[in-house]
Amino acid sequence: MGTDRRAHARFERSQVAQSIDSRAMFELIDHVGVAVSDLDRAIALYQDTFEMPVVHREVVESQGVEALLTEVGGGHVELLRPLGPETVVGKFIEKRGEGLHHVAYRVEDIDGTLASLKEKGIELIDTEARVGIWGSRVAFLHPRATGGVLTELVEPVEGDWRLRGGSHGG
Ligand code: CO
């Protein structure tokens, strides 16, 4: 039995290794950002109706939002409430209403990824990474360069909950 279990564990590890390709530019979809005007109403939908636990809540001044992460599998939905009408998300809601705001890909080395995207001619909003939610390093690519999809890169900080495979204490 011991041999079977070890073989199975080896098989599982190889599956995990295959699911994250270190040669790929992006590791996986870290989160999808959703612009909301009322966080309590959003929590009622995502946590109570969709049964996705809220795992983090933070005011990110640099992005002008109060952000809340709900967990689904190994990924997250990032609910973004603008801190004011003049913020990026505030203007987004005024112009287009609530809804999908951005997609965020996790990367291992955000500086290297930004450099290689720049080299490929992708227009960047952030030429350098800045501090995002939960101490991560983030940068946005311009939707003009990405077919209208605002795209975020996320490099988790060391010891970050994202690296612990989903379950975390906060
Ligand atoms: Co985001």
Q: What residue ranges do the domains of the chain occupy?
A: 25-164
Positive or negative CA dihedral for 86, 60, 73, 31? positive
Task: Let me know if 29 is exposed, middle or buried by CB neighbors in 10 A (0-12, 13-18, 19+).
Answer: middle
% of the chain residues with pLDDT over 70: 80
Instruction: Indicate if the pLDDT at residue 49 is higher than 80.
Output: yes
Residue 102 CA, ligand 1 centroid: distance in Å: 7
Residue 77 CA, ligand 1 centroid: distance in Å: 9
Instruction: Indicate if the pLDDT at residue 35 is higher than 80.
Output: yes
Are 89 and 64 contacting, i.e. CB atoms less than 8 angstroms apart?
yes
Positive or negative CA dihedral for 142, 145, 150, 151? negative
Residue 11 CA, ligand 1 centroid: distance in Å: 33
Bigger pLDDT: 37 vs 163: 37
Residue 87 CA, ligand 1 centroid: distance in Å: 15
Query: Residues near 114 by Cβ (< 8 Å), separated by ≥ 6?
Result: 124, 126, 127, 128, 129, 139, 153
| pLDDT averaged over every residue in the chain | 87
Query: Residues near 131 by Cβ (< 8 Å), separated by ≥ 6?
Result: 62, 137, 138
Residue 170 has what pLDDT? 37
Bigger pLDDT: 167 vs 46: 46
Instruction: Indicate if the pLDDT at residue 47 is higher than 50.
Output: yes
Instruction: Indicate if the pLDDT at residue 10 is higher than 80.
Output: no
pLDDT, tens digit, 9 for 90 and up, residues 113-122? 999 999 999 9
Instruction: Indicate if the pLDDT at residue 166 is higher than 50.
Output: no
Residue 91 CA, ligand 1 centroid: distance in Å: 16
Going by pLDDT thresholds of 50, 70 and 90, the confidence category of residue 74 is confident
Specify the range with the lowest mean pLDDT, choosing from 29-33, 118-122, 157-161: 157-161
Positive or negative CA dihedral for 103, 107, 112, 113? negative
Q: Is 0.85 topped by the overall pTM?
A: no
* Most confident region among 6-15, 20-29, 95-104 by mean pLDDT: 95-104
Place of tokens 């990032």: 78
pLDDT, tens digit, 9 for 90 and up, residues 106-152? 999 999 999 999 999 999 999 999 998 888 999 999 999 999 999 99
Q: Please tell me the distance from the alpha carbon of residue 71 to that of residue 57, in angstroms, as a whole number.
A: 12
Residue 4 CA, ligand 1 centroid: distance in Å: 42
**25-164: what CATH class?**
alpha beta
